Amino acid sequence: MQSLYVEGNSPMHRLSPRVKLVSLAVFGVLLFVSQNIALLSGFVLLTAVVYRTTGLPLGEGLRRLRPVFLTIAVVALFNLLFNPWQAALVPVLRLTALMLLAAAVTATTSIAAFIDEVTALARPLERTGFVQADDIGLALGLVLRFVPEIVGRYQAIREAHKARGLKVRPTSLLAPLIILTLRDADNVAAAIDARRIRRHGS
């Protein structure tokens, strides 16, 4: 499976996963309590600089952000239909800054580090009896693994359609994408079940 993590030695790479996750959460709160367009624009520039320092080549960095920009464009269009441009710009700037920082965090933190840190942070929740910290960490790890995998599959299916001279329609791409994703999910579920059986049996 593909990974969003990029090897490097940037300042973001050297920060501990806990600091990055907590900073991302605090930054998200600050973004959503601010209505100042100038301040939010500054946050966008700041997070763009942070993302650029992750060591990703410019082309690869922009390619990774393509789905993010598409989401932001949809949000912007929807807001412009119902609000003045100043009011519509605020959520767009918020999302852009938050997604850029999130992209920088995922590019500089390995999945193993993510899982270990989230599992450790979730340990106190086990006292409620409703959740298991290991399950939360595993769920996050699977999400981080499957997101780039699904995006890569979508692009591969789209290119295959183009190579065959077929018209690319969302409906014609979704069917094989869903089938392949469900097959992968079944394989992962079987592997998890087998691992638990071995663990319990030891």
State pLDDT tens for residues 98-131.
Answer: 999 998 998 898 888 878 888 888 888 788 877 7
- Cα distance between residue 52 and residue 63, in whole Å: 13
List CB contacts of 56: < 8 A, sequence separation 6 or more: 6, 64, 107
- Cα distance between residue 104 and residue 96, in whole Å: 12
Q: Domains of the chain: which residue ranges?
A: 1-109, 111-202
- Cα distance between residue 80 and residue 62, in whole Å: 25
Per-residue pLDDT of 31-79, as tens digits, reads 989 889 999 999 999 999 999 988 888 888 888 888 778 778 888 888 8
Reported as type and span, the H/E element at residue 3 is none
